[in-house]
Structure 1
C-alpha cells in the first residue's frame, strides 16, 4: 500500500531541548509493508516507510501497537496526522488524494492492531523509485502530433495543459480526468464538438479553443460548474453562427474572444456578464448589437469588420398585438415581478420565450408584442478602449431597442427629433 503526498515529520521532543522543527513539508511516498525483524526471531513485522527525493532509502517506523492517535478532521481536504509513541513524532500528511488517504489510514490502523497482520495484502518494503518522489508535474506543453502521448496517461497533477497543432478531432477523454486543471489550451486543432464532460473540470479557469472547427457551444456547459470557475474563453477562428441563450450563465467571464467566426448575433442577455472586461468579436457577420450590450462595463472592445446596418430610428418594425393576448400579459407579469420559472413548471417553448424577453425604455417587459428599432451607440459609452469599427475611423455601432407600446415609441421619437434639430 502506497501514498504520494507531502510529509512533515515533527519530533515532539525538540521543544524540550529548546529546539524548533524545520516546519516545512517535502514530497514523499509512504509505504506500508513487511520487513524481516531480526530482533523478533525473523518474524516479518509491518513498518511505515517514508521516502523522499533526498532520502530514497527512506525512514522506517514500526506500526504494531505504536500509534498513539490519528488526527483526521481534515481528511476530506487530503490532510491527516499520525502520532507515534516511539519515536515521539507526528507524521503530518497533506496534499493527498482524499480517497487514497482514507484507504491508507485504514491499513495503518489495522497494522497498529497487530492481530490482522497476516490478512493484509502487503509486500516487502523497497526504496521508492525516483519518479515516485519527484515533485508533481503541473504544466505540460505539446505542440506537435509526434509528441502527443498515445500509450501513457497525462500526469494527474497537471494544472496547465496545452496540446496545439496535434490534429485532434475531439477532446481526449484522458484530459477530462485531470481534476486539478486550471488552464486547457487546445488551439490549432480540428475539434468540431465539445463534450458535456468538459463541465466536470471544476477548477477550469481558462479554456482556449482558438482555430478549431466548432459549429456550436453546448448549452449544457453554461449550466455546469464552469459558470463558477471560467474566467477566460477563447472561441476565435471557428465556425460559430450563434451562442446559446444560456451562455450568459457564465457569470465569472472576464475575457471573451469570438473573432473570425460566422456570428449573426451576440448573446441576447450579454449585459448580464457583469465581470466581462475584454470582448473581441471582430470579423463576424453582426448586423447590430443586442439591447443589453449597453449594460456592459468593458476595458477593451473590438468589433472591427462586421457588416453593421445603418441605424434609422425613423423606420420602426411594428409587431404590436392589440389587445394583448393572455399569454403576453401573463409573460409580462412573470418577468416584471421576477416570478421564478423552469422547464418543470412551464413548457420548454414558453421558458425559451421568457429567456429572450425584451425590455422597453419604460422598464416594462414585452415578449411577442413590441416595436423595435436600431439606434446608434458610441462604443466608448461601454468601454475604455475601443478598436475602430471600420476603416473610416468610426467607433459607433447600431443597437437594437424595443418599445412595449406606441406611446413609449412616440416619447422616444419626440426626444430624438428634438435632439437632431
Structure 2
C-alpha cells in the first residue's frame, strides 16, 4: 500500500534539547510493507532528498492516530519508538482513510495477511518530486513528441513550434489555467478547448485563425476565461455568441480583418482592457456605450462619417405577430429553450437587438449612426479617425418611428 502526500516528521525530543523542528512539509511517498527477515509491518517514508527513505516499525508502536482533520486530507501518526510524529497533509481523503485503517491493523498485529502490502524499495524521482506546474517551449526541437505533458501543468507555453493544430494532449490537462500557443500556424480551434474548466488565460496571438468557434462561446469558458489574445490573425468577424464569455477582463483583437464587433458587446460587463487596433471597423455597435473600460485602443480603423439623418429602414407597420411575440418574451424575461421553441427561434431571441429605449427588436427596426465620446466608456483612449478627437461612429437601432423621432429631438437639442 502506498500513499502520496506531503509529510513532516517531527521528533518530540527536539524541544527538550533546545533544537528547532524539522521545518515545513515536503512531497513524500509512504509505503506499508514487510522488510526481508523482519517481523510485522513497517512504514517507509521516502522524500526527494532521501529516496531510500526512513523505516518505522508499526506493530505495537503507534501511540495515537490524530484524525480530526482527515476530511481535509490531514492526519498525524504518533509513534512510540522513535518518539516522532509523522504529519500528513494534502492527501487524497479516501486513500488517506484506507491508509490509516491499515496502519491501525498493522499496529494491532491482526489480519496482517489481508493488508495490501508493498515492496519497501526506494521511491522513483517522479513519485516524490513536486508536481510540475509550469512548462515553457519556444522552439520546435524542444516540443515533446514521444512523451506526454505533465498532468499537473497549470501554465503551458508552446510558442514558435510551427503547430498547425492544437495538440489534443493539451486538452487532457484539467488543471491548466494559462495556455499560450502564440506564434504558430493554427487555423482552427477544437471545441474541446471548452472542456478546460480552469482555463483563465488563452493566448493565440500570431496564428492563422479565420474565426472563433461558437461552440467555445457556449462552453465552460463562459465562467472561467478572463484573458483572450486573438491579435495578428485573419478574423473578419466574431460570432454574436462571443459575448457569452462574460468573465472576460482583457481582450486583444489587434491586426485582424474585423469589419464589425459583436452587437451585444455591452454584455461583457467585466471587460476592462480592450484593444482592436489596425482593423477595418467602420463603426461601433450601440451597446458599446454600456462598457466600463480602463483602457481602449482603436488606433488605425477607417471609421466612417455618421449620417444620422439618413437611417436604414427595416420596419413593418403594423408589426408582425412574430416580432410582437419575440419582443414580449424578451421584455418579460419569459423562459424558453429548444424543448419549447424551434431552434431557429431560440437563436433569434438570443441574438435580439436592443433599442435605445431598452426594448428588444428582431427584424423590425430603424438603423442609424451617431457619434459618441469614447471617454464615456474608457479612462484611457487611443483613437485616430477621420473626425479627430476621441469620437467614433456608433451604429444604433430603434424599434419604432416614435423612438427615432424622440432620439432626433434629443440629438437636435444637444446640438443647440
TM-score relative to the length of structure 2: 0.88
Shift, 1:6, TM fit: 1.6
CA distance in 2, matches of 1:233, 1:168: 19
In structure 2, the partner of 1:58 is 53
- The answer to whether structure 1 residue 397 and structure 2 residue 395 are counterparts is no
- The answer to whether structure 1 residue 359 and structure 2 residue 354 are counterparts is yes
Change (3 A) 1:189 1:64: farther
SS at match of 1:174: helix
SS at match of 2:366: strand
> Contact 1:81–1:90 (CA<8 Å) still a contact in 2?
no
- The answer to whether structure 1 residue 297 and structure 2 residue 292 are counterparts is yes
> Contact 2:251–2:274 (CA<8 Å) still a contact in 1?
yes
In structure 2, the partner of 1:4 is 4
> Contact 1:302–1:389 (CA<8 Å) still a contact in 2?
no
In the TM superposition, 1:327-342 aligns within 5 A as 327-342=322-337
Shift, 1:343, TM fit: 2.2
CA distance in 1, matches of 2:42, 2:177: 38
In structure 2, the partner of 1:80 is 74
> Contact 1:389–1:397 (CA<8 Å) still a contact in 2?
no
CA distance in 2, matches of 1:289, 1:412: 18
Shift, 1:352, TM fit: 1.4
In structure 1, the partner of 2:257 is 262
Matched residues, number: 414
Moved more, 64-73 or 10-19: 10-19
SS at match of 2:33: strand
Supply the RMSD in Å over aligned alpha carbons: 2.9
Shift, 1:160, TM fit: 1.4
In the TM superposition, 1:2-401 aligns within 5 A as 2-10=2-10, 24-36=24-36, 42=37, 45-63=40-58, 68-69=64-65, 71=67, 75=71, 79-84=73-78, 86-87=80-81, 90-96=85-91, 117-118=112-113, 122-390=117-385, 393-401=388-396
In the TM superposition, 1:406-421 aligns within 5 A as 406-421=401-416
Change (3 A) 1:136 1:353: same
Q: Could you report, residue by residue, the CA deviation over 1:157-190 in whole angstroms, capped at 9, with x for unpaired residues?
A: 2221110011112222222222222211110111
Change (3 A) 1:127 1:215: same
> Contact 1:84–1:90 (CA<8 Å) still a contact in 2?
yes
CA distance in 2, matches of 1:329, 1:306: 37
Change (3 A) 1:288 1:187: same
CA distance in 1, matches of 2:101, 2:255: 56
Unmatched 5+ residue regions in structure 1? 37-41
In structure 2, the partner of 1:39 is none
> Contact 1:223–1:246 (CA<8 Å) still a contact in 2?
yes
Change (3 A) 1:277 1:74: farther
Shift, 1:69, TM fit: 4.1
CA distance in 2, matches of 1:291, 1:69: 66
CA distance in 2, matches of 1:400, 1:374: 4
> Contact 1:261–1:283 (CA<8 Å) still a contact in 2?
yes
CA distance in 2, matches of 1:334, 1:414: 30
Change (3 A) 1:167 1:353: same
Unmatched 5+ residue regions in structure 2? none
> Contact 1:143–1:166 (CA<8 Å) still a contact in 2?
yes
Shift, 1:306, TM fit: 2.2
Q: Could you report, residue by residue, the CA deviation over 1:370-406 in whole angstroms, capped at 9, with x for unpaired residues?
A: 1111111121111111112338754222111121211
CA distance in 2, matches of 1:90, 1:271: 58
> Contact 2:74–2:91 (CA<8 Å) still a contact in 1?
no
Shift, 1:308, TM fit: 2.2
Moved more, 175-184 or 310-319: 175-184
Q: Could you report, residue by residue, the CA deviation over 1:35-83 in whole angstroms, capped at 9, with x for unpaired residues?
A: 12xxxxx2564322112233333222334576654738665x6x23253
